[in-house]
């Protein structure tokens, strides 16, 4: 009789453990629905946010017209599925998420691995408490060899999670003032 009670207890524990583990899967893709209201009817617009694809046109090394600022030899921005490297804010390893507004524009989101540099200090220090927060880069006018890129810049009250980052980092909210003027060219390998 003791073995039967133990077996039932073990089975119940195993079932609860499996349910708990099933709910702990990493974020791979998020679908956000926005509703546009027109004079005729409501139109549902679906925006998918997920990891950037290794085949995406943004993947690669990019440089701008200011070659003296090319922090990494021949480029000042590198984007891959698991890393974003920028001249302004350094290297961040981990997944890079993309929100495409169109085939040529959107946003990249990533969690900061280290505190951001503080360029207002000499020598350059860091802005304490920014590691682990979420950051973004906006892009537009993407072609096979050029794109306008701009990192978020407004203040250092950064979002704690991806969902808040998506709501916070927008052109309309004033985070990407230099997006129209910062064109990058793809580095040919």
The residue assigned the tokens 């005729």 is 40
Where is pLDDT greater, at 151 or 44? 151
Q: Note the pLDDT tens digit of each residue in 112-139.
A: 888 877 777 767 778 888 889 999 999 9
User: From CA 119, how far away is CA 110, in angstroms rounded?
Assistant: 21
Q: Nearest to residue 168, comparing CAs of 116, 107, 77, 124? A: 107
User: From CA 39, how far away is CA 42, in angstroms rounded?
Assistant: 8
User: From CA 175, how far away is CA 9, in angstroms rounded?
Assistant: 55
Res. 108: pLDDT tops 60: yes
CA-CA-CA-CA torsion for 68, 74, 80, 86, nearest 10 degrees?
Answer: -10
The residue assigned the tokens 């999670």 is 161
Q: Note the pLDDT tens digit of each residue in 133-166.
A: 999 999 999 999 999 998 888 877 889 999 999 9
What mean pLDDT do residues 26-32 have? 47
Q: Give the pLDDT score at 76.
A: 78
pTM confidence score: 0.72
């Amino acid at each position: 009789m003791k073995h039967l009670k133990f077996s039932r207890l073990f089975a119940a524990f195993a079932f609860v453990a499996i349910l708990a583990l099933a709910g702990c899967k990493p974020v791979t893709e998020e679908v956000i629905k926005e509703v546009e209201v027109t004079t005729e009817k409501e139109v549902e617009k679906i925006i998918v946010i997920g990891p950037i694809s290794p085949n995406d046109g943004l993947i690669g090394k990019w440089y701008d017209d200011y070659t003296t600022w090319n922090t990494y030899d021949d480029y000042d921005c590198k984007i891959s599925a698991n890393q974003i490297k920028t001249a302004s804010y350094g290297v961040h390893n981990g997944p890079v998420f993309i929100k495409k507004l169109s085939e040529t524009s959107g946003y990249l989101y990533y969690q900061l691995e280290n505190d951001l540099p503080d360029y207002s200090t000499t020598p350059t220090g860091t802005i304490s408490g920014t590691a682990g927060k979420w950051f973004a880069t906006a892009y537009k006018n993407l072609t096979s060899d050029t794109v306008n890129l701009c990192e978020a810049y407004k203040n250092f009250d950064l979002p704690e999670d991806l969902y808040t980052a998506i709501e916070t980092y927008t052109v309309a909210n004033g985070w990407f003032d230099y997006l129209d003027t910062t064109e990058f060219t793809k580095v040919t390998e």
